[in-house]
């Protein structure tokens, strides 16, 4: 079995334009295991963003036991560093490889010198050194000034900067701007964390009771989207309307996380729901991650009776979701390249293929 699965995208076809072979394995793998082992079990199962799965599972187990499920400062630092590391990895490793027309990766996009991969530094020092590394290798200016210019003109700054700056990242983004701006998308942000005491128990009930919900989730009857552009910290920001804006949002999120103010950028929480039952959530690189867990008494200690994982990929790559609707609208010879651009902007955690169907012939 391919434990990761694959996505298939069909640009220009009628909905559904996305299919997935990604298996829902959390319950099968976790049932019967000691509750204390759940963070490690899910971290090993979901190797991308494993740090977020471990921390979320730990808080879910704590809340299910009736304990105060609050992350420690060390946990918060780990989440921030892990999320920044995931962003850097996708930008440096995946964008130039998956985006059509992207230039070949240049040495400055490689990760050997990035402080987030330096074993001789602790997590605090890795994050402390990150802004200077980004400024030198990627931005050609301080992170704080780049973000200040972006705040003044969120629609146009990155385009102007990428056209003028002489860095590998600027050249990469400049190569994608025109194509990505042409890929219009609906805006349907997932806003569960605006009122989590009301929304998260309802979501947990659906995760626990509706077969297939975690593979094809919806909220208020429609699929939604989640990502760095739906952060609780950015609730006042304007909606995202195209693939370019989503790609830029990933870079902006990384830059914000790199600064000291990034300590409180990622929302998280947990709620007990009943005896031995809880839901926990974490904002991670790709969006909102949610774990539901039900514990039971074991011969010696509590064990997992059941659990569910709802990851950002299942929202963003829903067969009828925001990306799927954008894919349905793609036509012409460039639709395969446009589909690849759109998929990278939504950042799947599995590989994808593109299947071109014959375009309809109009009389």
Q: Is residue 106 part of a domain?
A: yes
Question: In b/e form, how buried is each residue of 60-73, taking b as 16+ CB within 10 angstroms?
Answer: bbbbbeeeebebee
| pLDDT value of residue 119 | 92
The band of 360, judged by pLDDT with boundaries at 50, 70 and 90, is: low
Q: Which domain holds residue 59?
A: 28-346
Q: Is residue 13 part of a domain?
A: no
pLDDT digits (tens, 9 = 90+) for 278-297: 999 999 999 999 999 999 99
Distance (Å, rounded) from C-alpha 280 to C-alpha 42? 14
Residue 279 near residue 263 (C-beta atoms within 8 A): no
- Locate 322 and state its tokens: 């925001």
Interval 209-218 mean pLDDT = 96
| pLDDT value of residue 25 | 87
Q: Is residue 363 part of a domain?
A: no
Interval 67-88 mean pLDDT = 95
Q: Is residue 15 part of a domain?
A: no
Q: In this model, does residue 238 exceed pLDDT 90? A: no
Q: Is residue 251 part of a domain?
A: yes
How many domains does the chain fold into? 1
Q: Is residue 221 part of a domain?
A: yes
Q: Is residue 356 part of a domain?
A: no
| pLDDT value of residue 106 | 76
| pLDDT value of residue 108 | 62
Q: In this model, does residue 42 exceed pLDDT 60? A: yes
Query: Average pLDDT, whole number, for the chain?
Result: 93
| pLDDT value of residue 28 | 93
Cα-Cα-Cα-Cα torsion 191, 195, 198, 200, nearest 10 degrees, comes to: 50
pLDDT digits (tens, 9 = 90+) for 43-64: 999 988 999 999 999 999 999 9
pTM: 0.94
Q: What is the DSSP letter of 223?
A: -
Q: Is residue 339 part of a domain?
A: yes
| pLDDT value of residue 1 | 42
Annotate 125-155 with DSSP letters as a single string.
HHHHHHHHHHIIIIISS-HHHHHHHHHH-TT
Residue 174, domain CATH: 1.10.645.10
Q: In this model, does residue 83 exceed pLDDT 70? A: yes
The band of 109, judged by pLDDT with boundaries at 50, 70 and 90, is: low
């Amino acid at each position: 079995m391919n434990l990761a699965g694959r996505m298939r995208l069909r640009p220009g076809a009628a909905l559904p334009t996305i299919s997935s072979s990604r298996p829902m394995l959390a319950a099968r793998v976790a049932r019967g295991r000691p509750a204390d082992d759940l963070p490690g079990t899910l971290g090993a199962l979901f190797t991308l963003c494993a740090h977020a799965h471990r921390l979320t599972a730990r808080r879910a187990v704590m809340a299910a036991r009736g304990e105060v499920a609050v992350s420690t400062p060390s946990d918060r630092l780990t989440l921030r560093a892990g999320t920044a590391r995931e962003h850097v990895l996708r930008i440096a490793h995946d964008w130039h490889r998956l985006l059509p027309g992207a230039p070949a990766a240049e040495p400055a996009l490689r990760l050997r010198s990035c402080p987030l991969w330096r074993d001789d530094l602790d997590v605090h020092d890795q994050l402390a050194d990150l802004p200077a590394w980004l400024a030198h290798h990627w931005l050609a200016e301080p992170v704080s000034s780049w973000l200040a210019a972006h705040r003044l003109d969120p629609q146009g700054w990155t385009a102007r900067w990428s056209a003028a700056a002489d860095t590998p990242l600027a050249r990469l983004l400049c190569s994608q701007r025109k194509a990505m701006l042409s890929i219009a998308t609906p805006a349907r942000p997932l806003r569960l964390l605006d009122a989590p005491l009301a929304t998260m128990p309802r979501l947990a009930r659906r995760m626990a009771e509706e077969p297939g919900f975690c593979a094809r989730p919806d909220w208020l009857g429609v699929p939604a989207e989640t990502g760095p552009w739906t952060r609780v910290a950015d609730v006042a920001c304007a909606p995202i309307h195209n693939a370019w804006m989503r790609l830029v949002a990933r870079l902006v999120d990384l830059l914000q996380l790199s600064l000291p103010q990034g300590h409180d950028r990622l929302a998280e929480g947990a709620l007990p729901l009943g005896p031995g039952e809880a839901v926990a959530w974490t904002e991670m690189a790709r969006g909102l991650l949610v774990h539901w867990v039900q514990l039971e008494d074991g011969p010696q200690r509590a064990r997992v009776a059941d659990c569910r994982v709802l990851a950002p990929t299942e929202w963003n790559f829903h067969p009828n979701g925001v990306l799927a609707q954008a894919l349905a609208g793609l036509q012409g010879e460039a639709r395969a390249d446009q589909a690849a651009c759109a998929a990278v902007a939504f950042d799947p955690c599995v590989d994808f293929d593109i299947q071109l169907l014959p375009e309809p012939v109009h009389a």
